[in-house]
Amino acid sequence: MRTLGKLAWVEIKLFIREPITMVFTFALPVIFLFVMGGVFGNTPDPEGEIYRGVGPTDYYLPAYIVLTICSISVVGLPVHLTAYRERGILRRLRASSISIWSVFGSQVIVSFFIAILGGILLTVIALLVYDIHLAVSPGLVIPAFIYITIAFAAMGIFLGAVLPTTRAAQGVGLILFFVMLILGGAGPPREVLSVAMQWVGDIMPLRWAIVLLQDPWLGFGWNSFVFGIVSAFGIVAAVLSLRFFRWE
Amino acid sequence: MNTVIKVENLRKTYGATVAVDDISFAVNKGEIFGILGPNGAGKTTTVECLQALRRPDSGRIRVLGLDPRTEAQALRRRIGSQLQESALPDRIKVWEALDLFASLSPGESDWQELMKQWGLYEKRKSSFSSLSGGQRQRLFVALALVNNPELVFLDEMTTGLDPAARRVAWDLIRTIREHGATVILVTHFMDEAEHLCDRVAIVDKGRIVALDSPQGLITTYATQVKVIFSTDRAELPWLEKVPNVQRVVKRGPRIEVEGSGPVLALVAASLVEHGITPSDLRMEQPSLEDVFLKLTGRSSGERG
C-alpha cells in the first residue's frame, strides 16, 4: 500500500511536469466546450428532438467530462506504459518487487486525479460562460464518474499491455480517440449522424460512458443498461490486461 | 545457512540461440563473487535467472533458499538489483526515486545516507534525464541497496564511471560486504574482478570454464611470468638457452623474456655472467587478463 501511494504520487508529479500531455488532456475538451457552446448556445431545441430536449451545452458538459477521462486513458496511458516498457522502466520496477497491482493501481489513481481536475475545470468554465445547469442527481453522477474512470483506465492499460511500441500506442490511441470523439456523442448529436456513423459510434465505449454520466446529470436517473455495457468493457479490458501484460 | 546461491545445470535458450548451456555453482554468504566473461557469454542471462527476471528452461536454482520460479516476489524483496538496460522516467528526481524504492523495504531504510555515500546529494533535486552516465549508474547502485538487501546483484556496475569514481565504487562495494551482504559482480573489467572478488567464475559460451579465487586462477592457468629489462647489446643468443626460459622477444632496446618458475633469478645470474647489469630489471606477474585470454581465446576488451 505504501508503495502504491508513493508510486501514484510520483506519477501525478510526472504528469504535471509533462506540459504537452497536460495541455492535450485539459485544453482539448475545453476548446470543444467553447466551440460547441459558441455554435449551439444553451437554448433547448423547441421540438425536443435534438440533444435529448435539453440545452446543447448542458448536453455537452457531461460528455466533455467523459472525454477528458477518455483522453487520459486512450491517448495518455497507453503511450506512458509502452514507453515504460520500451525504456526498461518496467523492468527496473519489477526487479525491485513493485507488483503489477501497484503499476496498474497507480495509473488508475492518476486517472482519477486528472479526471477530477478536468471535470472541475470544465464545470467551472461552463458555469461562468454558459450558465449551465449543475448535475440534477449528484448522488448518481459521482458513482457513474467513478465507474467510468475505472473502466476507461482498464481499457487504457489494456492498450498499453498489447501495443508493442510507443509509436503504435500513439497512432492507435489517437485514432480511437478521435473516432470516439466525433461519432461517440462528444461531437455532433447522434440524431444528425447517418446510420453507419451511428453504428460505429455504438460499438465504441465512449458513447455508452457519456450516457452513463449524462443520464443522472440531466435528471434521467440511473441507466442500468449502459452501466452494464461500460462495466463489460472495463472487465474485459482488465482481464485481458492481466493476461497479456508484459514487463519487457 | 552459509550457501546463499545454489545453481545446478542451469540452461536457457532464446529460440535457436543457447544463452546459458549448462551452468552450476554455489555462492557463500558474505562473498564477493565475480562472473567474468566475454560479451554474449551468458553472464547477464545467468544473473537474470537468479533474480527471477527470466525463466530458465531447465536446472535447479535456490537463492536465499527460495526458488525464483515460484517465489519471485518474496525473493525480489530480499535482493538488490542493479540491472543493465533499465531506466527511470525522465522527469523523476533523484530523491523521489530513492524514496519510492525505499518504500519497498519492510524496515526503515536510510536512503538519505545512501544518497550521500554514492555522491548524489548535490544532485538530489535533478531529474533523471539530466544526470550523466556515471551519475545514473551510481543512482542505480544506490537503488539496488536501498531495501537493505541480503544479496546484491551488480551487472556491469562501473561501466560509464570515470577511474576515480570506479575506485570509490570499489570501496563502497567492500563496505556492502562488511555490512554482511553477499555481492554478485558481473563485469568485464579484469582489474575490478582481481581487486574485489573473493572468487571468480569465468564464463564462456554458456558454460563456466574456470572457478577459483583470482590468485588461484592465475596460479593454475597463467604460469608464465615475464622478465623485462633494457640493453643496447644487439645479440643475446645465449639467453634462450638459460633454463626455464621459453621465449625471448626483442622490442628495440627492451627485452622480454617469458618463462616459468625461478626464471627471474636464472636470467639475472646469466646477465651478470655476460657483463650486463640493467638497472631496470623487473618481473611482470601474470594477471587475470592472461587467464582470461588463455581460457576464452579473447582479450577482455574484445567485443563479441
Residue range B236-273, pLDDT digits in tens: 888 888 888 988 888 888 998 988 888 899 999 999 99
Residue A163 pLDDT: 95
- Same domain? B123 vs B65: yes
For residue A197, pLDDT over 50 is answered with yes
For residue A143, pLDDT over 90 is answered with yes
For residue B301, pLDDT over 70 is answered with no
* CATH number for B256: 3.30.70.980
For residue B251, give the C-alpha cell: 622490442
The residues facing B101 across adjacent strands are none
Interface contacts (A, B; CB < 8 Å): 59
Is B298 contained in some domain? no
Share of chain A above pLDDT 90, in %: 67
Residues 6+ apart with CB under 8 A from A236: none
Total of domains in chain A? 1
Chain B partners of A21 at a C-beta cutoff of 8 Å?
none
Is B294 contained in some domain? no
> What pLDDT, in 10s, does the model give residues A8-63?
999 999 999 988 888 888 999 999 888 888 888 888 877 777 788 788 888 889 99
Q: Which residue from A3, A14, A96 is facing B143, i.e. has the nearest CB?
A: A96
> Is the CB of A84 inside 8 Å of chain B's CB atoms?
yes
- Same domain? B104 vs B206: yes
Is B29 contained in some domain? yes
Number of DSSP helices (H) and strands (E) in chain B, helices first: 10, 13
- Same domain? B40 vs B181: yes
> What pLDDT, in 10s, does the model give residues B99-145?
999 988 777 778 999 999 888 999 999 999 999 888 898 899 999 99
- Same domain? B274 vs B172: no
Is B304 contained in some domain? no
Neighbours of B281 (CB within 10 A): 17
Identity at A81, one-letter amino acid code: L
Provide Rg for chain B, Cα atoms.
Answer: 23
Is B291 contained in some domain? no
- Same domain? B124 vs B191: yes
Q: Which residue from A7, A18, A97 is facing B100, i.e. has the nearest CB?
A: A7
Residue A17 pLDDT: 92
For residue B188, pLDDT over 90 is answered with no
State the DSSP H helix or E strand holding residue A225, giving kind and residue range, or none if neither: helix A224-244
- Inter-chain residue contact A88 with B92, CB threshold 8 Å: no
- Same domain? B139 vs B172: yes
Q: Tell me the average pLDDT of chain B.
A: 90
Share of chain B above pLDDT 90, in %: 52
Chain A partners of B87 at a C-beta cutoff of 8 Å?
87-89, 92
The residues facing B63 across adjacent strands are B5, B66
> What pLDDT, in 10s, does the model give residues B166-183?
888 898 889 888 888 999
For residue B191, pLDDT over 80 is answered with yes
Write the DSSP assignment of A107-135 as a string of letters. HHHHHHHHHHHHHHHHHHHHHHHH-PPPP
- Same domain? B163 vs B237: no
Identity at A72, one-letter amino acid code: I
Residue ranges making up the domain that contains B245: 224-285
Distance from CA of A243 to the nearest CA of B (A): 17
Are the beta carbons of A97 and B104 closer than 8 angstroms? yes
Q: Kindly report the pTM of this predicted structure.
A: 0.85
- Same domain? B136 vs B268: no
Task: Give the mutation candidate from A96, A166, A247, A248 for the B interface (greatest B CB count, under 10 A).
Answer: A96
- Inter-chain residue contact B96 with A13, CB threshold 8 Å: yes
Cα B53 from Cα A91, distance rounded (Å): 8
- Same domain? B200 vs B56: yes
Q: Which residue among B170, B187, B219 closes a domain? A: B219
Which phi-psi region, left, alpha or beta, contains residue A153 (left: φ > 0; alpha: ψ -120 to 50)?
alpha
Is B159 contained in some domain? yes
Distance from CA of B294 to the nearest CA of A (A): 35
Task: Give the mutation candidate from A11, A91, A92 for the B interface (greatest B CB count, under 10 A).
Answer: A92
Interface of B with A in 68-107 (CB under 8 A): 73, 76-77, 81, 83, 85-89, 91-92, 96, 99-101, 103-104
Q: Give the three-class secondary structure for B300.
A: coil
Are the beta carbons of B42 and B19 closer than 8 angstroms? yes
Q: Which residue from B73, B86, B127 is facing A92, i.e. has the nearest CB?
A: B86
For residue A235, give the C-alpha cell: 472487465
| Predicted-complex ipTM score | 0.87
Interface of B with A in 146-165 (CB under 8 A): 147
Is B297 contained in some domain? no
Q: How far apart are the first and last CA of chain B?
A: 38
- Inter-chain residue contact B88 with A89, CB threshold 8 Å: yes
- Same domain? B162 vs B61: yes
* CATH number for B119: 3.40.50.300
Number of DSSP helices (H) and strands (E) in chain A, helices first: 11, 0
Cα B271 from Cα A221, distance rounded (Å): 107
Cα B293 from Cα B281, distance rounded (Å): 26
- Inter-chain residue contact A91 with B83, CB threshold 8 Å: yes
Residue B29 pLDDT: 94
Cα B60 from Cα B46, distance rounded (Å): 12
> Is the CB of A101 inside 8 Å of chain B's CB atoms?
no
> Is the CB of A17 inside 8 Å of chain B's CB atoms?
yes
Total of domains in chain B? 2
Q: Which residue from A18, A88, A91 is facing B91, i.e. has the nearest CB?
A: A18
- Same domain? B113 vs B177: yes
Cα B73 from Cα B45, distance rounded (Å): 19
Residue B302 pLDDT: 53
Cα A26 from Cα A4, distance rounded (Å): 25
For residue A183, pLDDT over 50 is answered with yes
> In B83-221, where do the E strands start and end?
151-155, 182-187, 199-204, 207-212
Are the beta carbons of B98 and B111 closer than 8 angstroms? yes
Q: Which residue has the cell 525464483?
A: B68
- Same domain? B72 vs B91: yes
Residue ranges making up the domain that contains A111: 2-244
